[in-house]
Amino acid sequence: MIDVRPRILSVGTANPPTRFLQESLPELFQVDDPRLAGLFHSSHILSRHLYLPEPGPDGVPDETQGELLAKHLRGALEIGPQAVERCLEPLGLTVQDIDYLCVITTTGFMAPGLTAHLMKHMGFREDCSRVDVVGMGCNAALNGLNPLASWSAANPGKNALMVCVEVCSAAYVFDMTFRTAIVNSLFGDGAAAALVRSEASDAPRFAPSILGFNSQIVLPAIGAMRFDWDDSAGKFSFFLDRDIPYVVGQYAERPVDRLLSAHGLRRRHIKHWLVHSGGKKVIDAIQYNVGITEHDVRHTVSVLRDFGNLSSASVLFSYRRLLDEGLVERGDYAVWMTMGPGSTIETCLTRW
């Protein structure tokens, strides 16, 4: 009997054209407080790609909530299509070949959602099924990949496309508070796309099969990561609790152990780890509590260094770097881990 499973056949990534050195941003943001400026001088982030406005009359960038939403859509329609094209081109596909489209974002809310805008902008078929995953945060790539894999399994031979589009600079508030400075110093803009199709595991194409998922939500920490309305700023603002690394670290083993146990595996069987680039302390907490090495998180760390935290797109950037490295072999297992609001830890098991 032929084993037919959903497989990740290709991935593509994209960023805004303008790259900023991390050390240059305090001056651009007119950050005079040394405590706030110090957030931009950590060695774990060297640069980020951002959509930033021209400084206002007082030298500080400022945008209304309406302008931020317009920037989100404008940026999404620039980097989203680039990621899609870079994903589809190696397979000889176009958007006309896509049967199911899932678009993920947390950095902009709109109706109709980004699926409709991308379909119109890029020329998808009008009968393409679609779903928008909005507001789930940095963990959401795996929240989108899960139903994408299920749809693919139910529709073998058809093409399912997931696109993570995060214009994190559309969630920036410049009010010189510690809360917003943390966000402004961490998140970057980026998009990533992945093509999933169910086909025989012995197919000649070298691509990993999606074997399963496991989730962990930490409800007592529901407010530790949140995107809510800031009355004083008159716009939405993101909040990160300083205890997030400890919350994530305390619960990280649980979904990993359940995921591996369901497939009769132990951690020593896992060759590759694809962990969300949430921040240095978060990565350290995952590394320590799950018992993985610096080598295991090398792509996680390098994506954070070169791009900052790209929210839901981050884990696909790490996956792209793993593929480019050229060290994956047939039979290798990989565990994917993403963390975000909820507080939530998502895991996925794949095998080449």
Average pLDDT, the chain: 93
What integer pLDDT is reported at residue 56 of this predicted model?
72
Q: Give the residue from 295, 323, 271, 338 showing the smallest Cα distance to 13.
A: 323
pLDDT at residue 233, rounded to an integer: 80
CATH 3.40.50.720 fits 209-351, yes or no: no
Average pLDDT over residues 25-49: 87
pLDDT category at 334 given cuts 50, 70, 90 is: very high
- Whether 312 shows a pLDDT value over 90: the answer reads yes
Say whether pLDDT at 38 is over 80. yes
pLDDT of residue 178: 81
Fold held by 4-200:
Peroxisomal Thiolase; Chain A, domain 1 (3.40.47)
Question: CA-CA distance, 35 to 16, in Å (whole number)?
Answer: 28
Q: How confident is the model at residue 59 (pLDDT cuts 50, 70, 90)?
A: low
Question: By CB neighbour count within 10 A (0-12 exposed, 13-18 middle, 19+ buried), where does 230 fall?
Answer: middle
DSSP-assigned letter for residue 59: S
- Residues spanned by CATH 3.40.47.10 within the chain? 4-200, 209-351
Please give the average per-residue pLDDT across 195-223, as a whole number.
89
Lowest mean pLDDT among 21-25, 158-162, 291-295: 21-25
Bridge partners of residue 6, in order along the sequence: 198
Residues tagged active-site: 138
Mean pLDDT of 206-233: 92
